[in-house]
Amino acid sequence: MSGNFLALAQPGVQQLSPYVPGKPVDELARELDLDPASIVKLASNENPLGASPKALAAIREALDELTRYPDGNGFALKSLLAEQCRVELNQVTLGNGSNDILELVARAYLAPGLNAVFSEHAFAVYPIATQAVGAQAKVVPAKEWGHDLPAMLAAIDANTRVVFIANPNNPTGTWFGAEALDEFLQDVPAHVLVVLDEAYIEYAEGSDLPDGLDFLAAYPNLLVSRTFSKAYGLAALRVGYGLSTPVVADVLNRVRQPFNVNSLALAAACAALKDEEYLAQSRQLNESGMQQLEAGFRELGLSWIPSRGNFICVDLGQVAAPVFQGLLREGVIVRPVANYGMPNHLRVTIGLPAENSRFLEALRKVLARG
């Protein structure tokens, strides 16, 4: 007799569903016998530009040192980040993607009997990180698809150690302003670490979104997490970072894997940070692509949730699931978000102008078929 190793998993893990990623291009190509090059994937909020040429050059150079362990302290990248983010070196924590930062927070601060507060329709990694360490997830109903910060505040209790908030949020694209954030931070009890997930903040420059870094000095219980996966175009390499007080950074540093960020990722991230032209191009492409999709939706009589990310959720009502399938048959992969409590929406990542057109054309065709 062997043990029931599902029932033996800790209860929080038994209740989890695995993270569902966007459908890979090669998988759809195999299933429908399509040429992978003909498939448009707008499903994982990836940067359609391709990686920065400067990052690629840095990776080629770093290849010569693959036999060595990476710099476990990530000195070069941390130095650049500290300078750019106006913090000290000892306030920076590097992660294997910013997912890693979220998990380090959970591992360091959550445990059975404790809880984390986050919003309905929030990023799927928050429940995974929380329940993986046996803590309770307190999910607060959303308001107009976005975070209801006062309700989240009210949900905090003596056993709360972490609040996850994302600005803008994925998958909804919703956001909150500086005043709302400041009021929230003022009222969060001192025993609660606020994780402000800014995975898409680079796209929001010059908008009404606050810069989380502006709040670090005033609020020692704030951690801002950011990533190289989106606007910096390095999703495959897995590199992100957290900015916090030195104390919180020290705690996270105790629980991380010694070499959690590989040397190619470190080299590429340094180069990408310095490539301002690439970032500006990413932003500009995103802005025009967002307008292109909104115009297309308007023409089709569809409504959408306004977004400050590199993606947008379009409302297809009852037919969201069949439209998703229909789009697949047209060689276009978008993201169903029923598992985020949004069965009527599909999330579409902003692509290159031609990819956006392909998607809109396919959508028109699928909807016309009824």
Ligand X SMILES: *Cc1c(COP(=O)(O)O)cnc(C)c1O
The residues that touch ligand X, with contacts defined as CB under 6 A, are 45, 97-99, 123, 166, 170, 197, 199, 227, 229-230, 235, 240
- Select 101 or 360, whichever has its Cβ closest to ligand X: 101
As measured in angstroms, the least distance from the Cβ of 232 to ligand X is 10
Q: Would you say 317 and 361 are in contact if contact means Cβ atoms under 8 Å apart?
A: no
Per DSSP, the three-state class of 162 is strand
Instruction: Report which residue type is found at 246.
Output: P
- Is 124 or 360 the residue whose CB approaches ligand X more closely? 124
User: 94 vs 135, which CB is nearer to ligand X?
Assistant: 94
Nearest to 122 by CA among 151, 149, 142: 142
**Shortest spacing between CB 115 and ligand X, in angstroms:** 20
DSSP annotation string for 122-152: --THHHHHHHHTTPEEEEEPPBTTB--HHHH
Helices (H), the chain: 11-14, 25-32, 53-62, 75-85, 98-109, 125-132, 149-155, 178-187, 246-255, 263-274, 276-299, 320-329, 353-369
Nearer to ligand X, 99 or 131 (CB): 99
Closest approach of ligand X to the CB of residue 145, in Å: 14
Q: In angstroms, what is the minimal distance from the CB of 175 to ligand X?
A: 12
State the nearest-atom distance from the C-beta of 330 to ligand X, in Å: 26
The CB-of-295 to ligand X minimum distance in angstroms stands at 25
Beta strand 345-349 with 240-243 is unpaired
In the complex with ligand X, the residue whose CB is nearer, 296 or 351, is: 351
Q: Are 199 and 278 in contact (CB under 8 A)?
A: no
Nearer to ligand X, 235 or 367 (CB): 235
> Quick one: which of 135, 171, 199 has its CA closest to 21?
171
- Is 335 in contact with 348 (CB distance < 8 Å)? yes
CA-to-CA separations, 166 to 23, 113, 122, 363, in angstroms, rounded? 24, 24, 8, 29
Q: Which residue has the tokens 């047209």?
A: 330
Residue number with CB closer to ligand X (98 or 115):
98
Please, what is the minimum distance in Å from the beta carbon of residue 235 to ligand X?
Answer: 6
> What is the distance between the alpha carbons of residues 9 and 133, in angstroms, rounded to a whole number?
11
Minimum distance from residue 176 beta carbon to ligand X (Å): 14
**Nearer residue to ligand X within complex by CB, 210 or 240:** 240
